[in-house]
Amino acid sequence: MRTRVVIADDHAIMREGLKSLLEKKGVDVIGIAKNGREAIELAISAHPDVVMMDISMPDLNGMEATATIRQKVPDTKVIALSMHSSKHIIDKMFTSGASGYILKESAFEELYDAIKEVNKGNFYLTPSIARMYVDYDGNMVKALGDLPVSKEISKKEREVLQMVAEGEKTRDIAEKMSVSIKTVESHRRNIMKKLCIFSIAGLTKFAIKEGIISL
Amino acid sequence: MRTRVVIADDHAIMREGLKSLLEKKGVDVIGIAKNGREAIELAISAHPDVVMMDISMPDLNGMEATATIRQKVPDTKVIALSMHSSKHIIDKMFTSGASGYILKESAFEELYDAIKEVNKGNFYLTPSIARMYVDYDGNMVKALGDLPVSKEISKKEREVLQMVAEGEKTRDIAEKMSVSIKTVESHRRNIMKKLCIFSIAGLTKFAIKEGIISL
DNA sequence: GCAAAAATCAGGGTTTTCCCTGATTGAAAT
DNA sequence: ATTTCAATCAGGGAAAACCCTGATTTTTGC
């Protein structure tokens, strides 16, 4: 039986392009949503096998829409389609009940694979991201359900992050916080590990996105 | 004769989807680029009629790439394909030499219209944006060419700035630009002097504000 | 054509970040 | 009560960024 899919994305060109590609592969695109709210309505009324869910959408984002769909239509699986590869977001997406996560940078073939896998009841994770969840021996670090790995950064780390993103040097941060340079370095390192962001530029962007600093 | 098009976008799924849609319409997609640098190379080697240029791309953004292509291959027209509708960015795109500007929220039909118009030598502006350039009497507010731009930093400096703001290291930037580390250091130093911004975090914020990179 | 600006790089120095291991204390959770 | 985690810091090394001076070659503007 043909797989029945709903596409949710705020960009029309992306929706239409993806529809075209999926139909070439014999996938039935039975619905199109331009925000999370529409996606929920479609999932409830049409009971698709899979929803391809963009995360950043106006009105109601993909994260919340996923949670609602999984709750109201448990048979419908959700694959997150994202621009971002931040662990933070991925964790949230899986705890919201997504069965797959792929990047828009991924080739379409990968997206197609993801649909097939998820439709079989499996999970799918973009290979480049899967590494984050795997230790050196190749074992899953955590089961994909109970990820307390969504490491929220601590209070002090947040303080340091803010000052780093504001362009302060380690020495000045240490002074302002009345701790040693080593401590600030420790914090910065831990922040980077937790967020999987390994540059000042990246931390700055993260801080802006999270509202820790403003532009 | 069939229209020959190059697509430049950092998301593979968008590239493939757009290609699929254009080919259905009988447009020849003769090349695919995943950043500005590749777009320039393709424009020079393949002389397409039109380049569909995403603005925010890693390495070398659509703005810079457009300027270079317009300069080196004047017969090739560029249509900007953007998520943003800020006047600031649109202005810059047109001063860089773009012939069209459409949003990713636009329907594909509009994109197709834009290609046809631009190929005839006309300009195309997404209707929702066109309003910004028109006054109450329906006249163009500005000629689409002489918009004032405060270009403090040079082209190469801008390139370096983008990669710095993307979190790239000096060595990697040097490699991508095929110059020595010393040169990149020079550029970075000059940028900082010119902008009076003396931290990576500050440069990152500046780059975001200026639309050189996106969040 | 000429001067200014941009782009290129060298050499050599200081400072800072980045990365590792490892340790102590205290608080919070189970 | 035990473990986990936050917060604190040390030592030491490698890499990268930062800063200065100065020089050559192209490009570009007038």
pLDDT in tens, A76-115: 999 999 887 666 677 778 878 889 999 998 999 999 999 9
Distance CA B25, CA A4 (A): 25
| Interchain contact, B18 vs A17, CB within 8 Å | yes
CA dihedral A14, A17, A20, A23 (to 10 degrees): -40
Q: Is the minimum distance from the CB of A154 to strand D below 7 Å?
A: yes
* Residue among A159, A161, A158, A185 at smallest CA distance from A171: A185
CB B160 within 8 A of CB B184: yes
Restricting to B residues 178-197, those with a Cβ less than 8 Å away from any Cβ of A are 197
User: End-to-end alpha-carbon separation of chain B, Å?
Assistant: 40
pLDDT tens, B135-167?
444 444 443 333 333 336 778 888 888 889 988
pLDDT tens, A106-141?
999 999 999 998 998 888 888 766 655 544 333 444
Stated pTM of the model: 0.72
Q: Which fold has domain A4-133?
A: Rossmann fold (3.40.50)
Q: Is B167 on the interface with A (CB under 8 A)?
A: yes
Contacts of B81 in chain A (CB under 8 A): 13
Across the A:B interface, residue pairs with CB atoms under 8 Å apart total 114
Which two three-digit tokens encode residue A79?
A: 């694959």
Domain boundaries, chain A: 4-133, 155-209
Nucleotides of D under 7 A from a protein CB: 5-11, 16-22
Q: Which fold has domain A155-209?
A: Arc Repressor Mutant, subunit A (1.10.10)
Interatomic distance B13 CA / D12 C1' (Å)? 47
Q: Which residue has the higher pLDDT, A61 or B147?
A: A61
Closest partner residue to A17 (CB to CB) among B21, B200, B204 is: B21
What is the predicted pLDDT for the residue at B46?
Answer: 92
CB B203 within 8 A of CB B189: no
* Residue among A48, A56, A44 at smallest CA distance from A22: A48
